[in-house]
Homo-oligomer: A and B are copies of this chain.
Amino acid sequence: MTDTVKLVSEMAGRARNARGGLAKLGDAARGRALNLASDALRKAAPDIMAANAIDMAAAKDAGLSDAMQDRLMLDESRIDAMAIAVADVADLESPLGQVIDEASPPNGLKLRRVRIPIGVIGIIYESRPNVTADAAALAIRSGNAVILRGGSEAVNSNRAIHEAFVKGLVEGGVPEGAVQLVTTQDRGAVGAMLKAQGMIDMIIPRGGKSLVERVQDEARVPVLAHLDGICHTYVHASADREMAREIVVNAKMRRTGICGAMETLLIDQDFTAPQELLSALIDAGCELRVDDALLEVEPRAVSASETDWGTEYLAPVLSARLVSDLDDAMAHIAAHGSGHTDAIIAEDKNAADRFLADVDSAIVMHNASTQFADGGEFGLGAEIGIGTGRLHARGPVALEGLTTYKWVVRGDGQARS
């Protein structure tokens, strides 16, 4: 066992030990502790900014891109936003103790399925230091212990945030082991977390594709994540012209870098105004990569290659294709989609219902922008991530996705015959 593997295993042991104290505290006290953590973050703003300045100086020296430096940077208002986000999580209703269902089988037993925490969650993330507070808050609100591993660029900022956060929590009676930060720079720490079966119950990677790919590849612990968000919008023949134009431009261009951004547009050959859609996108600053049929419609577009249909651009670039009908559209999505979010724009209710029933993605939408694929927009409060796996939790995952259940059985002396 290397020192790093041993370190992670000891941290996981402390996290497991913290579960009991966290459970005994109860929901109300965990909420109060999160409010204390929120206050502690605000009070520690000068320390956090000082630590962040060290990370920012190193980032400049290392020549990190402006975008990465912006993600890393913390100022008073960003720290304030972080503290508000933690207090917001404290206000969310806890799913713990919720009775999922009850039954009274003929043997006279009274059965209940009751929501409980998953146990120990591992969060592996990149340069955004606010994840340290956001993810820890969601874990604590759902009664879980958490082990955080942030990007090396943010190590000083994360350490300062973690210190303040835990100080607040401990004041509120949360065991210190409930929120731990891996600060060793050895990349083996991530590998050790991914292989800590029985010690860490679930891993959530937050970051770019290469991080998620590595996590999904190496993990033996269950992973909650999505690798790609290749979201489609299918404009049906019956679509309202104006609605289609507005939604399509929004789905692509509102923010191009989020996982719910549309990456492929499928236009029905019987839709009356394909040129209008394409031209609105180009006017909004979007590059179009299209099939031959659409190239004739909009000569300002360029020819798509086969790889375009499976590409998540996360940029003002869109692939687009003319499809012959609903089945052709759904076949395209089944072949090239990533199971994230796919939408149909249609006035024809039957076509919409078939799309919603038959497309198998985590989120399917009718007459709405795929950019709504978000825990906040779904009314879940803050989200810990979006999952495209088949099991446990899919789509936006918030507090409920950080819980599991147990069967509580009450008898009055039953022996089984």
Contact = CB atoms under 8 A, between A and B. Distances in A.
Interface of A: 19-20, 23, 103, 105-107, 109, 111, 116, 118-119, 201-202, 222, 240, 243, 246-247, 249-251, 254, 352, 356-358, 360-369, 371-372, 377-379, 389-392, 394-396, 404-416
Nearest to A113: B395
Nearest to A247: B415
B222 A391 contact: yes
Contacts of A411: 365-368, 372
Contact of A365 (B357, B364, B409): B409
Contacts of A254: 415-416
A379 B116 CA distance: 22
A95 to B, nearest CB: 11
A401 to B, nearest CB: 10
A407 B363 contact: yes
Contact of A395 (B119, B357, B406): B406
Nearest to A243: B413
Contacts of A371: 415-416
Given A107-B372, A202-B390, A391-B392, A408 B364 contact: yes
Given A246-B413, A390-B202, A116 B360 contact: yes
Contact of A407 (B23, B240, B378): B378
A358 B105 contact: no
A254 B395 CA distance: 45
Given A366-B410, A411-B368, A414-B372, A118 B390 contact: yes
A21 B372 CA distance: 31
A368 B109 contact: yes
A156 to B, nearest CB: 33
Nearest to A120: B390
A247 B368 contact: no
Contacts of A247: 413-415
A404 B390 contact: yes
Nearest to A101: B400
A368 B201 contact: no
A372 B409 CA distance: 9
A413 B240 contact: yes
A368 B414 contact: yes
Contacts of A201: 390-391
A6 B118 CA distance: 37
Nearest to A365: B409
Contacts of A407: 362-364, 378, 394-396
B409 A366 contact: yes
Contacts of A395: 406-407
Contacts of A116: 360
A19 B390 CA distance: 14
A394 B118 CA distance: 11
A390 B356 CA distance: 30
Contacts of A246: 413, 415
Contacts of A243: 413
Contacts of A389: 222
A406 B378 CA distance: 13
